[in-house]
Amino acid sequence: MDRLNAEHRRILDRANASVAAGAERAASDPSRPIYHLTSPAYWINDPNGPVHHDGEYHLFFQHNPFASEWGNMCWGHVVSEDLVRWEHLPIALAPNPGSYDKDGAFSGCCVIHDGVPTILYTGVFPECQCIATSDDRLRSWTKHPANPVIPTPPRGDLEGFRDPFCWRDGESWYMALGSGIRGSGGCVLLYRSTDLREWVYLGPLLQGTTGVMECPNFFPLGDRWLLCVSPFAQVIYVTGDFSDHRFQPETEWLPMDLGRREDFYAPNSMLDSQGRRILWGWAQVGPPGACWRGALTLPRVLSLRDDRRLGIEPLPELARLRGRHERWEGVLLARDEPVVLPPELSETVEIRAEFELQGAREVGLVLGGSSGGRGQRTVAYDHEAGRLSVAERSGSFGLLPGEDHLQLRIFLDRSIVEIYANGRVALTAGLDHPGVEEGSPLREGDRRVTLFSRGGAARASTVDVWEMTSIWEAGSA
């Protein structure tokens, strides 16, 4: 083993020991999610390099193994057989002092080239693109002697040169890189290679008016291509046509999630074994002072619907996490007369509610709050305004002509909530931001759910509540 990689192993040992030492404190924190991905301890940000290989799903994430704040960027690592239950593995990559990644191993992807699992990531600073390979089923990683494989940006007027996202087409690998043109706006750079080592710059894939476009994801969906970027603001996507290395957007930019940048950022995606496009984002949740911070959103299945809209749904197999169940049917909601349901299950639940709007202007659910408002959260659909909201976040969403039902799926996991509406909109919210009270609204002794209808009557045809169980395989919390 060369000197750099021998040193890398020693650095990883120290990082893993630090995380192990913090794990008990992190696990005992009552606001820590149990069915969202977190690290055993300390900070995480972007999901990185999801990949399916040899019967296993691997997912990595930006990780500080030493503190609950951003820094010392490493690649944390989890593995799963079904995308539902996960196990933590040792940290995959750490920065090597004095080398091309001395200031961090930033975001990237993982691909299988000629049978060899290969991570592509950004070394900093200055930003450059690097690779690492594994010969033991992705358990350990060797930084390549040819690093950095792309040492400098292709032109002098760029700000930001990071977060490789790669895909294969025939004999070629393509790479989309996040960047921006100084004084002009965000852009995504396109490269090509046959061996992941020698890269040729093909030009900008797209230029925009946003800030630097971090963490580009670019992939076919149905008969279109979708480009998703994180421009230091809400994550946005556009769909269009890709041919001759040119991307022609055909839609406006739309939000990938209606939450704020802090709630959903830097998503990353992969194809699963059934050819579904699965996406995870980073939610900056966790109370100040805790021994953990940050979670990944639930795996979401993206599709292009027949009406050309984006379909966004939680992975159906998440139903395996369901435990005890309660159900109500045909709940009539007279105007401005809320109905209290008494689910006593848990603070980690999935709630699925189907509403027929009848004359209602607004319908929704209040989570918790029997003690007079502390920690109470309202999930509301305002039909008149065309908005979906929770916990001071809201975004555009309206029933389409012909859609006579509103279906809300609410995944509440202590300090994070994700809401999916009619299979085509997602809204994520952290529940512990400064100024907002911490933790799950469904605390013990305060677990009621209140259905309401304003401005007219409505009917909740079904309301299901499931207790949700942990994603962690025994011994890996």
Please identify every residue annotated as catalytic: 46
Cis peptide bond prior to 148, omega within 30° of 0: yes
Q: Residue 212 Cβ, how far from ligand FRU at the closest point, in Å?
A: 8
Q: Which residues pair with 239 in a beta bridge?
A: 226
Q: Residue 163 Cβ, how far from ligand FRU at the closest point, in Å?
A: 5
Work out the number of other CB atoms within 10 angstroms of the CB of residue 70.
Answer: 15
The residue (of 204 and 311) whose beta carbon lies closer to ligand FRU is: 204
What is d(CA 235, CA 237) in angstroms, rounded to the nearest whole number?
7
Q: Residue 99 Cβ, how far from ligand FRU at the closest point, in Å?
A: 17
What is d(CA 49, CA 141) in angstroms, rounded to the nearest whole number?
13
Q: Residue 215 Cβ, how far from ligand FRU at the closest point, in Å?
A: 6
What is d(CA 79, CA 53) in angstroms, rounded to the nearest whole number?
11
Sheet holding 116-124, edge to edge: 104-113, 116-124, 128-133, 142-143
Residue nearest to ligand FRU (CB): 106
Cα dihedral 244/246/250/255 (nearest 10): 130
Q: Which two tokens stand for residue 263?
A: 């709630």
Q: Which two tokens stand for residue 318?
A: 């998440």
What is d(CA 296, CA 57) in angstroms, rounded to the nearest whole number?
15
Residue type, 247: F
In 386-476, which ranges are E strands?
Answer: 387-390, 393-396, 405-413, 416-421, 425-430, 449-454, 458-468
Q: Is 339 exposed, middle or buried (0-12, 13-18, 19+ CB in 10 A)?
A: middle
The residue (of 163 and 464) whose beta carbon lies closer to ligand FRU is: 163
Enumerate binding residues for ligand FRU (CB under 6 A). 45-46, 62, 73, 106-107, 122, 162-163, 214-215, 230, 265-266
What is d(CA 95, CA 178) in angstroms, rounded to the nearest whole number?
21
What is d(CA 196, CA 211) in angstroms, rounded to the nearest whole number?
28
What is d(CA 363, CA 380) in angstroms, rounded to the nearest whole number?
6
Q: Residue 265 Cβ, how far from ligand FRU at the closest point, in Å?
A: 6
Cα dihedral 220/221/225/231 (nearest 10): -100
Residue 416 sits at φ, ψ, to 5 deg, of -135, 145
Pick the closest to residue 269 from 38, 51, 36, 39 (CA basis): 51
CA 330, 327, 85, 26 dihedral sign is positive
Q: Residue 106 Cβ, how far from ligand FRU at the closest point, in Å?
A: 3
DSSP 8-class letter at 2: -
The residue (of 160 and 311) whose beta carbon lies closer to ligand FRU is: 160
Q: Residue 45 Cβ, how far from ligand FRU at the closest point, in Å?
A: 5
Q: Residue 162 Cβ, how far from ligand FRU at the closest point, in Å?
A: 5
DSSP 8-class letter at 37: B
